């Protein structure tokens, strides 16, 4: 019977296999440190394959480099023998929710999710720690001492003498930051769909370096936009009041968007509300357009200066189709447009031509717009016709790259969730993220944030679902970083940043449910907490050759004694690449506990003493996959017969053991 490998995939071997598919002559087999044959790349041959001239030595090229880059790439590809353990008591609606909260180092989380969510995520948003000149809490072994950095970057000679001045500001912390973010972006790219987006928040310190890294990881051609968020003012600044941050936006494949003619649009803020107001005024005043206009303009006057609904106030005319404006430009953009004859409907004479030609390429196309009521003529032919725009027919828009979002508002709304306490500094505005989620994703897509922080992304996804409709799933990952001692978070009772994230999602979800919700939302405000831990398997599972004969009897069971059956189940889900949010229920069958994942998508029984009768009953369910514990069978004969039983009763079932 085949066994599950029970560790994350070896991405180096995966990458080499892809190279072999393109350049078979560049890949061979070589013995690893353990003596086993592994795929290996002939780099000299590969370099020659990628060059149209003879390659002799290192060539100068345009690229970003820093001390530690190669180690970071190796670390991104190396497998880990870890797992995700469920924490029911910290979860909300564990058995039914579609959302995940992963507690642990996000580099490990990204590795563990590679098989399950490969190419399935529509949007990744991250707000990584900004470079403040300090080391990071992420334990990648990338953070170096000053001495290590100077030696590696050739800023120190063999005797330890410094070769350059100002070593502290000469790249060490930039290198540490790049080495921290680089492998995470490498792994994140693999999770994105071809039409998926990644959005990364950053400030001035590393914006230029982040752009270069993302160009390398995602491809310069897949850069979409650099968003600028005007957040606040600092009157105590010495030189300029820097009150903005950036969001760099990339798509996995811009060609995918072009091939499918995918365009991004967002609903104009307040259109639904304006519809409701207009309908009420029609009910009160019928077709008295003067009174209706007065009521709508009074409604417009309630908008504040920074209100996102303010553009609606430009629709100052009204008829049965609703608010409209008729001052639209009918000119061909750039000049040199078509000059066909358009007759005025009253005078019958040719209308005055727009300076750069008609906006519509043919007279037929122009007449179609007239029939739809989208062209407005002047009193006679001496006036150029204009374009009419109806608000209720033109309710979406392209987002601008400069956005306004005041940090104080986000902070106050966050503090309100925690009874006025500031348990987290500088939380991102969940409404901004909700806007981006709605703009970049569809109603059933997956959103992933592996620097969850205060939980703003999860809050934003719930807000988007409840406001715009849809059942988007959110995966959040946050390392269990300790809060500062004597901080408001510590005084409030929090020990870890991840505890703040989880509690924020709990409270925000309940608050959203108390308000008005979109009818097309499943009202899922839960999340399934999974914690990164060492493998459930004992060391003998991974290193059987290092186990002496005297130890065999004490290690018959290859599972650690403190692990539950549900712990084993989630490691199996990871290893098999099964969706971690599928519904799970357990039943007692012939006295044994059997897990049913999404009915029969996967069945598992990790009890001891499994008989042939039980195996036959489980085979009768015809599951897609089934897994047992290798040491769980009543006798060797049952273990031998398992595959034959399924071959006879359910030949499509994939059978494995741990």
The model's pLDDT over 493-502, given as tens digits with 9 standing for 90+, comes to 999 999 999 9
Please give the order of strands across the beta sheet that includes 322-328: 317-319, 322-328, 386-390, 375-376
- Residue 288's beta-bridge partner residues? none
Q: Which residue has tokens 């063999």?
A: 158
**Percent of the chain scored above 70 by pLDDT?**
85
pLDDT in tens, 424-464: 988 999 999 999 999 999 999 999 999 999 999 999 999 99
- What is the DSSP secondary-structure string of 522-559? -----BEEEEEEE-SB-HHHH-GGGS-GGGTGGGSS-B
Secondary structure letter of residue 162 according to DSSP: B
Q: Considering the entire predicted model, what is its pTM?
A: 0.79
Secondary structure letter of residue 652 according to DSSP: T
- What is the DSSP secondary-structure string of 239-306? S----EEEEEEEES-HHHHHHTT----EEPTTHHHHHHHHHHHHHHHTT-HHHHHHHHHHHHTT--TT
Three-class SS of residue 41? strand
Mean pLDDT is lowest, of 195-204, 397-406, 455-464, 475-484, for 397-406
17: burial class by Cβ within 10 Å (0-12, 13-18, 19+)?
A: exposed
pLDDT at 151: 56
- Residue 596's beta-bridge partner residues? 585, 603
Do 649 and 619 meet the contact criterion of CB atoms below 8 Å apart? yes
C-alpha 642/C-alpha 650 separation (Å) is 11
Three-class SS of residue 584? strand
Backbone torsions φ then ψ of 201, nearest 5 degrees: -80, 140
Count how many Cα atoms sit within 13 Å of the Cα of residue 482 in the half-sphere of its side chain.
3
Q: Give the rounded distance of the alpha carbon of 379 from its chain centre.
A: 54
Three-class SS of residue 381? coil
Give the residue with greater pLDDT, 213 vs 28. 213
Instruction: Tell me the two tokens of residue 80.
Output: 């880990």
Task: For residue 583, give the nearest of 93, 103, 102, 110 by alpha carbon.
Answer: 93
Mean confidence (pLDDT) of the chain: 86
Given a cut of 60, whether residue 540 has pLDDT beyond it is no
Instruction: Tell me the two tokens of residue 302.
Output: 């309630």
C-alpha 203/C-alpha 244 separation (Å) is 8
pLDDT at 52: 66
pLDDT in tens, 511-522: 999 998 999 999
DSSP count for the chain of H helices, then E strands: 21, 23
Given a cut of 70, whether residue 133 has pLDDT beyond it is no
The average pLDDT across 591-619 equals 95
Choose the most confident range, by mean pLDDT, from 12-21, 103-112, 234-243.
Answer: 103-112
Instruction: Tell me the two tokens of residue 75.
Output: 């670390």
Backbone torsions φ then ψ of 14, nearest 5 degrees: -60, -45
- Helix, strand, coil percentages in the chain from 3-state DSSP, rounded to 5: 40, 20, 40
Do 608 and 629 meet the contact criterion of CB atoms below 8 Å apart? yes
Given a cut of 60, whether residue 654 has pLDDT beyond it is yes
163: burial class by Cβ within 10 Å (0-12, 13-18, 19+)?
A: exposed
Pure H helices in 264-420: 271-285, 289-300, 363-371, 407-417
Give the residue with greater pLDDT, 151 vs 564. 564
pLDDT band at 25 (very low <50, low <70, confident <90, very high): low
Do 492 and 418 meet the contact criterion of CB atoms below 8 Å apart? yes
C-alpha 449/C-alpha 14 separation (Å) is 25
Instruction: Tell me the two tokens of residue 414.
Output: 């966050």
Give the residue with greater pLDDT, 171 vs 234. 234
Do 504 and 101 meet the contact criterion of CB atoms below 8 Å apart? no
Contacts of 546 (CB under 8 A, 6+ apart): 539
pLDDT at 344: 96
pLDDT in tens, 470-505: 999 999 999 999 999 989 999 999 999 999 999 999
Say how many residues make up the chain. 658
The average pLDDT across 367-373 equals 93
Given a cut of 90, whether residue 384 has pLDDT beyond it is yes
pLDDT at 172: 64
User: From the CB of residue 343, how many other CB atoms can be counted at a distance below 10 Å?
Assistant: 12
pLDDT at 554: 44
pLDDT in tens, 310-341: 889 999 999 999 999 999 899 998 888 999 99
Instruction: Tell me the two tokens of residue 152.
Output: 């590696």
pLDDT at 538: 83
Task: For residue 271, give the nearest of 467, 54, 56 by alpha carbon.
Answer: 467
Contacts of 493 (CB under 8 A, 6+ apart): none
The average pLDDT across 103-121 equals 95
pLDDT in tens, 140-179: 554 445 455 445 444 445 555 544 433 444 456 788 889 8
């Amino acid at each position: 019977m085949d066994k599950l490998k029970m560790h994350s995939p070896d991405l180096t071997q995966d990458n080499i296999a892809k190279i072999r598919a393109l350049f078979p002559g560049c890949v061979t087999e070589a013995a690893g440190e353990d003596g086993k044959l592994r795929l290996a790349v002939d780099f000299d041959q590969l370099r020659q394959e990628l060059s149209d001239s003879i390659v002799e030595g290192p060539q100068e090229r345009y690229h970003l480099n820093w001390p530690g880059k190669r180690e970071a790439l190796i670390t991104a590809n190396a497998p880990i023998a870890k797992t995700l353990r469920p924490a029911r008591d910290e979860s909300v609606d564990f058995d039914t929710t579609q959302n995940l909260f992963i507690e642990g180092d996000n580099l490990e989380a990204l590795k563990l999710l590679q098989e399950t969510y490969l190419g399935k995520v529509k949007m990744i948003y991250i707000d990584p720690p900004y470079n403040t000149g300090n080391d990071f809490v992420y334990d990648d072994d990338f953070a170096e001492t000053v001495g290590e950095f100077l030696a590696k970057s050739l800023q120190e000679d063999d005797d330890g003498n410094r070769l350059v001045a100002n070593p502290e500001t000469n790249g060490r912390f930039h290198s540490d930051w790049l080495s921290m973010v680089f492998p995470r972006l490498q792994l994140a790219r693999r999770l994105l769909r071809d039409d998926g987006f990644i959005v990364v928040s950053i400030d001035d310190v590393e914006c230029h370096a982040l752009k270069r890294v993302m160009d390398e990881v995602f491809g310069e051609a897949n850069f979409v936009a650099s968003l600028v968020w005007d957040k606040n003012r600092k009157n105590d600044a010495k030189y300029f009041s820097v009150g903005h941050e950036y969001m760099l936006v990339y798509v996995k494949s811009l060609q995918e968007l072009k091939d499918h003619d995918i365009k991004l649009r967002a609903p104009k803020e307040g259109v639904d509300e304006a519809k409701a107001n207009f309908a009420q005024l029609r009910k009160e005043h019928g077709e008295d357009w003067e009174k209706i206009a007065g009521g709508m303009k009074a409604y417009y006057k309630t908008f504040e200066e920074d209100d996102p609904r303010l553009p609606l106030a430009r629709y100052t005319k009204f008829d049965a189709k609703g608010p409209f404006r008729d001052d639209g430009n009918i000119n061909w953009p750039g000049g040199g447009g078509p000059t066909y004859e358009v007759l005025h409907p009253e005078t019958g004479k040719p209308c005055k031509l727009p300076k750069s030609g008609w906006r519509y390429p043919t007279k037929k196309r122009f007449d179609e717009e007239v029939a739809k009521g989208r062209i407005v003529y002047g009193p006679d032919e001496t006036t150029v016709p204009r374009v009419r725009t109806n608000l209720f027919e033109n309710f979406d828009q392209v987002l601008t790259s400069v956005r306004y979002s005041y940090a104080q508002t986000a902070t106050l709304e966050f503090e309100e969730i925690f009874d006025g306490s500031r348990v987290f500094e500088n939380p991102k505005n969940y409404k901004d993220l909700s806007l981006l989620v709605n703009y970049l994703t569809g109603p059933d897509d997956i959103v992933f944030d592996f620097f969850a922080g205060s939980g703003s992304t999860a809050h934003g996804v719930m807000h988007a679902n409840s406001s715009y409709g849809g059942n988007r799933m959110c995966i959040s990952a946050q390392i269990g970083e300790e809060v500062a001692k004597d901080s408001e978070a510590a005084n409030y009772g929090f020990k870890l940043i991840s505890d703040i994230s989880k509690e924020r999602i709990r409270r925000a979800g309940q608050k959203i449910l108390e308000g008005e919700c979109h009818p097309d939302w499943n009202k899922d405000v839960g999340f399934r907490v999974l914690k990164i831990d060492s493998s459930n398997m004992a060391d003998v599972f991974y290193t059987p050759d290092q186990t002496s004969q005297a130890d065999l009897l004490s290690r018959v069971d290859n599972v650690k004694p403190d692990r539950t059956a549900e712990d084993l189940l989630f490691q199996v889900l990871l290893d098999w690449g099964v969706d971690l949010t599928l519904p799970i229920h357990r039943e007692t069958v012939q006295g044994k506990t059997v897990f049913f994942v999404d009915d029969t998508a996967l069945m598992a029984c990790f009890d001891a003493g499994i008989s042939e009768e039980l195996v036959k009953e489980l085979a009768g369910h015809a599951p897609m996959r089934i897994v047992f514990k290798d040491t769980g069978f009543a006798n060797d004969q049952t273990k031998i017969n398992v595959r034959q039983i399924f071959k006879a009763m359910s030949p499509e079932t994939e059978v494995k053991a741990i």
